[in-house]
Amino acid sequence: MQFRTLKESELEKWFYHCASVFGENQNLDFWLDYFKRHYFNDPFRDINSIFVALDDSNIASTVRLFYRKIYFHGKEITVGGIGEVSTKHEYRGMGLASKLLCMAVDTMRKKRLCISILFASLHNFYGRFGYKVLPREFCLLDKDTFQKYHESKTTQTGEIKEINLSDNNVEIIDEIYKLYSTNFNGPVVRNREYWLGWVNLEPKTSLGYFVEGRLAAYLFYRKNGKEIIILEYGCSDSSNKEIPLMEFIKFIINNENAEAIKYPKAIGLELTGCTEFKDNSLMLNLITPFKLEGLLVDSTEKLISILAREPNKFVFWGTDNF
């Protein structure tokens, strides 16, 4: 078995490997589009950070390292994201993914990245490499509850319509994003290329809230069966952030055949009748110690402890998931 980084000439083979493993040889077109999109639309991509185990010329297993920065207590912190972890059935139980994950962690250490983030359900597996769960809180609001308790209380002061993340309006949206998202821990630091590539081309519906013709808030969502998942929200006026959000929810409920809306509790909309629940899919690992307001963050336990003190201050927008 050979362990190394991927070559450009092997990209198509790698896309097919990821699609066939994650899709279990079903819906290959969907999964191929997903992995190609997440590679070509990522302005920070680096083929030398795709690690593979090869049996002759056959890709048996792979791990990909994503490069990001996130806002954390007002600072920009470097992040290595772990994704595309996949091993063909016939090669499982041989420790291939473990070896590749060690290669990815070693690369993050050499580059002195501060934190690593991944999304997973196999907590015990990733726990062996130092990753720990950071619980995130979400709310689920069903259609009947909203109409019963809240629809009559919404007062529309602006106009809602679909928007495109084009060259013309991405600067305004980015301005709103920085005003709103930098108040949290976790949102990805975005540049123009990332907005027009990754964010723009992720499947979603994009809504804008306009007051006197100017964009004042935006919301991205995706429909999953009868459920609406709010991926991201931003508002230019923090003192009135709930008004556009309530209007967005009302607009979606009236225009989509959906029974419920899921959203991060951190956006501050605690409504009567909504169901709160925790999601344990996000895991963190401290790679390189760093200072935060004079405090040395030198362990994953300390990092988790700092974030757990203000659970509703942590947001990793669904738009940025890898």
The CATH number of residue 163's host domain is 3.40.630.30
Beta bridge partners of 321: none
- Considering the domain architecture, whether residues 16 and 63 belong to the same structural domain is answered as yes
Specify if 226 maps to a domain.
Answer: yes
What phi and psi, each to the nearest 5 degrees, are found at residue 285?
-150, 125
- Considering the domain architecture, whether residues 144 and 192 belong to the same structural domain is answered as yes
Short-list 277, 87, 304, 96, CA closest to 186? 304
What residues contact 145, with CB distance under 8 A and at least 6 apart? 271, 272, 273, 274
Least confident of 85-89, 151-155, 231-235: 151-155
Mean pLDDT of 67-81: 96
- Considering the domain architecture, whether residues 253 and 237 belong to the same structural domain is answered as yes
pLDDT of residue 237: 80
108 and 268 in contact (C-beta within 8 Å)? no
159 and 210 in contact (C-beta within 8 Å)? yes
- Considering the domain architecture, whether residues 307 and 251 belong to the same structural domain is answered as no
**Spatial separation of the C-alpha atoms in residues 282 and 321, rounded to whole Å:** 10
Mean pLDDT of 87-103: 98
290-302 exposure pattern, b = at least 16 Cβ within 10 A, e = fewer: bebeeeebeebee
Reported as a pLDDT band with limits 50, 70 and 90, residue 118 is very high
Specify if 230 maps to a domain.
Answer: yes
- Considering the domain architecture, whether residues 125 and 219 belong to the same structural domain is answered as no
* β pairing state of 227-235 and 214-224: antiparallel
- Considering the domain architecture, whether residues 273 and 286 belong to the same structural domain is answered as no
Write out pLDDT tens, residues 183-224.
Answer: 999 999 999 999 999 999 999 999 999 999 999 999 999 999
Specify if 143 maps to a domain.
Answer: yes
Mean pLDDT of 23-45: 96
- Considering the domain architecture, whether residues 197 and 227 belong to the same structural domain is answered as yes
- Considering the domain architecture, whether residues 298 and 218 belong to the same structural domain is answered as no
Question: What number of other Cβ atoms are within 10 A of residue 175's Cβ?
Answer: 13
End-to-end CA distance of the chain: 27
How distant, in Å, are the alpha carbons of 78, 246, 275 from that of 264? 23, 14, 12
Specify if 184 maps to a domain.
Answer: yes
Residue 239 has pLDDT above 90, yes or no: no
Short-list 215, 265, 205, 206, CA closest to 236? 215
- Considering the domain architecture, whether residues 142 and 273 belong to the same structural domain is answered as yes
Write out pLDDT tens, residues 127-182.
Answer: 999 999 999 999 999 998 888 877 666 566 789 999 998 877 899 999 999 999 99
How distant, in Å, are the alpha carbons of 76, 127, 178 from that of 111? 16, 22, 26
Mean pLDDT of 79-104: 98
- Considering the domain architecture, whether residues 274 and 304 belong to the same structural domain is answered as no
pLDDT of residue 4: 98
- Considering the domain architecture, whether residues 6 and 94 belong to the same structural domain is answered as yes
Angle between helices 11-22 and 28-40 (to 10 degrees): 130
Specify if 209 maps to a domain.
Answer: yes
Specify if 227 maps to a domain.
Answer: yes
Number of domains in the chain: 2
**Spatial separation of the C-alpha atoms in residues 115 and 117, rounded to whole Å:** 7
CA atoms within 13 A on the CB side of 277: 9
**Residue ranges making up the domain that contains 176:** 137-278
Specify if 322 maps to a domain.
Answer: no
* Average pLDDT value over all residues in the chain: 94
- Considering the domain architecture, whether residues 22 and 120 belong to the same structural domain is answered as yes
Specify if 20 maps to a domain.
Answer: yes
